[in-house]
Amino acid sequence: MSDIIVDQPDLMVSVRELFGINTDLKVPAFSTRDDHVPDIDPAYLFNPEVTLAILAGFSRDRRVMIQGLHGTGKSTHIEQVAARLNWPCLRVNLDGHISRLDLVGKDSIVLRDGKQITEFKEGIVPWALKRPVALIFDEFDAGRPDVMFVIQRILERDGKFTLLDQNEVIHPHASFRLFATANTVGLGNLNGLYHGTQMINQAQMDRWNIVSTLNYLPADDELKIIQGRVPSFQTDKGRQQVEAMIAVADLTRKGFAAGDLSTLMSPRTLISWAENTEIFHSVSVAFRLSFLNKCDEAERPIIAEYFQRCFDQELEESYLHSEVMGG
């Protein structure tokens, strides 16, 4: 990992001017952009409450967790706040492949002056702790137990981290910040949707100072985002088409909530559907390739019916359904 070229935030910025939220709050920011700063998405729409929670993390060094269903843009929300503050970011997905050694560090064989020697290579956590970095643990509730114990050490108020192998105690940089995203609030895979999520013990949950929830956006906001991402929909006809797409997505979410479906259309998938419609020039083909093919075969007739209801257009899957029902 390359080093950070800036050391401390050097200006205060207005939350009202930067994020359009009605508050007098000012937050620290960097005047210089670094390679570790995420790119700004000008079409991104901020949720005011979640944004304020994230900003509290940046300005007051609070440990912030964002919880919500998949595809709501939890990690992106943190990154887009960081992007506008020019705050360097490091995002780590805590899937089953991340181990304690990845986080802490390990001995590696390196070549020095033509000789092989063993050298300690620091992991993600020591590297981030020493720098003005916002460390984001993505899918926090999917982390393995050995990984969670490492994280618990930096969740303490002083955040000191001891590298036992190196006899080194790392004190966090004054501008180090810690965030996490999770699909559940530490409760594990209650409804069968999030395989691999773990129950997080209460002692660890208590160490998160702020827990905010990011739900799906209102239809008008989803419309603005899609039209921002895919400008070809910024016509009257395009608007009607996007409104119908959002209606399909909403039906899948209601179907999921009612227990009729085992999956739902996230905002991420909805945007992909709109982008693929522009590529394939067919809303039905794009729908199949973006969402329908990912669904359980037994549930596809129900989803095809949602599509037919919103677009007044039959899909093959609904014909198959009617043949089965008729036969």
Quick one: pLDDT at residue 86? 97
Quick one: pLDDT at residue 242? 97
**Are 197 and 271 contained in the same domain?**
no
Neighbouring-strand partners of residue 163:
168
Which of 191, 213, 235 is where one domain is finished?
213
* Chain mean pLDDT for the chain: 87
Q: Choose the most confident range, by mean pLDDT, from 76-85, 118-127, 198-207, 256-265.
A: 76-85
Residue 1 lies in a domain: no
pLDDT tens per residue, range 260-290: 898 899 888 999 999 999 999 999 999 999 9
**Are 240 and 186 contained in the same domain?**
no
Residue 78 lies in a domain: yes
Tokens of 79: 């990154």
Residue 4 lies in a domain: no
Residue 304 has pLDDT above 90, yes or no: yes
Residue 142 has pLDDT above 70, yes or no: yes
**Cβ atoms of 108 and 150 closer than 8 Å:** no
Quick one: pLDDT at residue 96? 67
Q: Is 210 exposed, middle or buried (0-12, 13-18, 19+ CB in 10 A)?
A: middle
**Are 24 and 151 contained in the same domain?**
yes
Top pLDDT among 37 and 157 is at 37
Residue 322 has pLDDT above 80, yes or no: no
Quick one: pLDDT at residue 2? 65
* Average pLDDT of the residues in 140-167: 81
**Are 176 and 241 contained in the same domain?**
no
**Are 320 and 203 contained in the same domain?**
no
Q: Choose the most confident range, by mean pLDDT, from 70-74, 187-191, 302-306.
A: 302-306
**Are 305 and 209 contained in the same domain?**
no
pLDDT band for position 58 (cuts 50, 70, 90): very high
* Average pLDDT of the residues in 244-259: 92
Kind of pairing between the strands at 168-170 and 161-163: antiparallel
**Are 300 and 157 contained in the same domain?**
no
Residue-number span of the structural domain to which 223 is assigned: 219-326
Beta strands in the chain (DSSP E): 11-14, 26-29, 64-67, 89-93, 105-112, 115-122, 134-138, 161-163, 168-170, 177-182, 210-213
**Are 169 and 26 contained in the same domain?**
yes
The total domain count for the chain is: 2
**Are 196 and 248 contained in the same domain?**
no
Which of 171, 197, 213 is where one domain is finished?
213
- Between CA 200 and CA 221 the distance in angstroms is 33
Quick one: pLDDT at residue 196? 43
Residue 143 has pLDDT above 50, yes or no: yes
Residue 74 has pLDDT above 50, yes or no: yes
Tokens of 137: 């643990």
pLDDT tens per residue, range 204-248: 778 899 999 998 889 999 999 899 889 999 999 999 999 999 999
Residue 6 lies in a domain: no
Q: Tokens 């020697």, residue? A: 117
Top pLDDT among 325 and 288 is at 288
Q: Which residues contact 109 (CB under 8 A, 6 or more apart)?
A: 116, 117, 118, 119
**Are 290 and 145 contained in the same domain?**
no
* Average pLDDT of the residues in 252-260: 87
Percent with pLDDT over 90 in the chain = 57
**Are 112 and 90 contained in the same domain?**
yes
Name the least confident of 1-5, 230-234, 251-255: 1-5
Q: Which residues contact 293 (CB under 8 A, 6 or more apart)?
A: none
Residue 100 lies in a domain: yes
pLDDT band for position 195 (cuts 50, 70, 90): very low
**Are 205 and 256 contained in the same domain?**
no
Quick one: pLDDT at residue 220? 93
Quick one: pLDDT at residue 111? 83
Residue 299 lies in a domain: yes
Residue 5 lies in a domain: no
* Average pLDDT of the residues in 23-39: 94
What CATH number is attached to the domain comprising 22? 3.40.50.300
